[in-house]
Every structure is written in C-alpha cells, then in structure tokens.
Amino acid sequence: MELIWNHVLDWLSLLLRWGHFIVGVAWIGASFYFNWLENRLERITTEDSDVAGNLWAIHGGGFYHLKKYKLAPEQLPKHLHWFKWEAYMTWVTGFCLLCVVYYLNAEAYLIEGGEQSINPNLGILIGLSALVVSWAVYDLLCKSALINRPLVLAVLLFLYFSLLTYILDHFLSGRATFIHVGAAIGTIMVANVFFVIIPSQKELVSAVTQGRELQAKMAKNALLRSRHNNYLTLPVLFIMISSHYPFTYGHSLPWLVLATLSLAGVFVRHYFNIRHLPGAKNLYLLAGLAFLLVSILLTAPLSFRSEQQQAVVTAQIFPIISQRCSSCHAEQPTQPGFTAAPAGMVLQNLDQIERNMMQIHQASVLTKTMPLANLTGMTEEERDLIDQWYKHSVTGLNE
C-alpha cells in the first residue's frame, strides 16, 4: 500500500510541476511580451489622437498591427481579452506542489535533520506564515508614502527578503528556505494581480462603459505593482530551479547567495526594460553580470588543504555510503517516500560510487544537503573521511 501511495505522490508531484511550469510560462511570457510591446510602440504625440502608439509586427507568416489607446476607445469591443488566469493558476499549482513536496514529506524536505530540528508541523506553520506576512508587509509599504519614492521602496523590499531568507534558514532546510522565499514573492506577484491590477482594469472598463473619469490613483498603483512583478520575475525563476543546485541553497550564507543572484536578475531585467532608451544603459547589464560573478565566486569551493592527509580509498567509503545513502540511492529504495533513486543516482557498488564522486562530495561535504535532512545520521567524522577520499582520488595529495 505504501508503494502505491508513494507512486501516486510521485505522479502528483510530476503533474503539478508540469502544470506549474506551463501556466508559469504563459504568465511570464505574457508579461515579457507586453513589456516589450510597451517599449517598442511608435508613440503618437498629437493631441487630437486618442491613440498613444502603434506597432507593426510579423510572426507565423502573417502581419499584425497593434494599437494602444491613451485611455480607451470610444466604444469597447464585444470581446475583450483579459490576462489573469495564467497568474492565478501559477499560484494554485505552485502552492499545491509546495504541499505535496514539502508538507507531505516535511521530515525529509522541509526541515533539517538532527537534534536541533524543529517539529514538522511548526515548520509548515512557519512556511505558510512567511507567505501571509510577506504580502502584508509588501502591501503596507506600497500603500505608504513610499509609493512616491520607488528606489527607497525597492531597497526596503530587497532588505526584507534578505532578512526573510536569513530567518527561514534557521528553521527550515536550505532547499525549503529558497522555495518558501520564492513562494512568498510569487504570492506577492499574484496578489498584485488579484487585489490591485485586475480591479484597476475592471474600474477602467466600468468608467469607459458608464462615461466616468478613471481614478488616476488606482491606475497609478496598478502600474507600480505591475512594474514590481516585472522586476521580481527573474529572481523567482531562479528560485524555481534552485533545488537542482545544492551549492546555492546549501551554502553557509544562503541569504547572501540568494541576494546576489536576485540583484543580478533585477539589474539584467532593468537593462532589457530600458535598452531601447538613450543613455548609459549598458551599465545596468554590467552590474547584473558583476553580481552574477560575485555569486559564482561566493559559491566556489575552498581550495584543497595542502597538509598531509591519510590516503582513503573507495573501499573505505563504501560502508558509509551503504549505510547513509543507499537506502535512497538504490535501484529499489528502502527509504519511505521514494520509489526510485533521486536524480537516477544509484550508489550500490564501488563503480557507481566512484562514477558519482563529485556529486557525493558536493552534497555530503561542501553543502551538507545529503543525506536528505540527515535522516540516516551521517556523522561529521564520516563527512571528513569522504572529504579526504575525494581529495586524494582527484588530486593525489597523499601520494
């Protein structure tokens, strides 16, 4: 029965992840396209025209002619397309995936193992609270006088998410910390759509239909939230794939790694937003690449120690891997919750262990993200032995 349940969870995770990816591409793709469209419009400045700009494009064997109105046409069309369900379904599928992967397997994925680990239910409560509190803090800041000081607002938001990463890392696993920060940002983005942007658009449609004047404050706030969503996109996309790269979330200063990578994404996004404008826009691209370089250097492994170490061969490591790792990394895993070896990595003989030497060293020594939540209780002495084995095998320092 347990095998069937695990198989169902695996497929549920796969389908939710696939669906999350599909609707996320639709949402982010639409955001990128409309941002590109806004930046490429041929502006019309004559006061007697109700059109703000237009654009000609060719795609898929056909020509397209697009127009943007300064406010709205005199009469609304019968069919008006809205862009909202992509955002809503991205959050719904993402939240369901969070529950399936992290909350149904809280002891393995959500919290760190060991004596200092917290109760899994408390970990779930902390994770959910991060989503709610983040939206409340963000919305409060946007409704304050900071709405007229966008740079100060952006800095405060950056500091908040860095602090959130730092706090969560003290309670959750590194992987879960990154994912929950991403979920908090995603919650803010979709809440912007649901609570601010779509109501503003509905008010615009209502004002045009009834012949009323549009509320300028409402439109301004919606534009601000839309811009925030645009800049938050690249950091969120990184976090979505971060679980595949333990050298990021497994770093001793994960908040700093996420901060530098997020800044890289924000600056690169800003470059693409303004590259059609005159001025020293390339500086923003260089700044983004500089922060990316800082992230690369920050996560670089420490240089090998030069002191003499005891030679360790694979045969000495085999019992450690068998006891601590092979319950998951087997052709038929015995660890509850697994129906196949994670990442397809089987570690049941000497050849398989040597073939995956780099991955074993990175996960068990450099980032200590494996064994997962240290469920099998790998000791520091065992990690040191693996470290010596890897360094001897790769560099021959002991020869």
Q: What is the per-residue pLDDT across 213-225, written as a single tens digit (0 to 9) for each? A: 777 778 888 888 9
Cα separation values, 397 from 360, 363, 390, Å: 19, 22, 10
pLDDT > 90: percent of the chain: 54
pTM for the full model?
0.86
| Angstrom distance (rounded) from CA 391 to CA 357 | 10
| Residue 55 vs residue 211, higher pLDDT | 55
Give CB contacts under 8 A, 24+ apart, made by 206-211. Answer: 207/72, 208/71, 208/72, 208/73, 208/76, 209/76
| Angstrom distance (rounded) from CA 354 to CA 357 | 5
Helix H or strand E segment including 210: helix 198-210
What is residue 397's predicted lDDT score, i.e. its pLDDT?
A: 44
Cα separation values, 66 from 26, 74, 205, 219, 362, Å: 20, 17, 19, 22, 51
| Angstrom distance (rounded) from CA 173 to CA 170 | 8
Cα separation values, 308 from 288, 373, 392, 398, Å: 41, 32, 10, 6
| Angstrom distance (rounded) from CA 270 to CA 281 | 9
DSSP E strand stretches across the chain: 42-43, 51-59, 62-69
Q: Is 268 helix (H, G, I), strand (E, B) or coil?
A: helix
What is residue 234's predicted lDDT score, i.e. its pLDDT?
A: 96
Give CB contacts under 8 A, 24+ apart, made by 393-399. Answer: 393/314, 393/354, 393/357, 394/357, 395/304, 397/304, 397/305, 397/306, 397/308, 397/309, 398/308, 398/309, 398/310, 398/311, 399/311
Phi then psi dihedrals of residue 149, to 5 deg: -130, 75
> Both tokens of residue 196?
């601010």
Tell me the pLDDT tens digit for each residue of 71-127: 788 888 889 999 999 999 999 999 999 999 999 988 888 988 666 789 999 999 999
Q: Please state whether the peptide bond connecting residue 371 to the residue before it is cis, i.e. omega within 30 degrees of 0.
A: yes
Contact between 110 and 103 under an 8 Å Cβ cutoff? The reply is: yes
What is residue 302's predicted lDDT score, i.e. its pLDDT?
A: 65
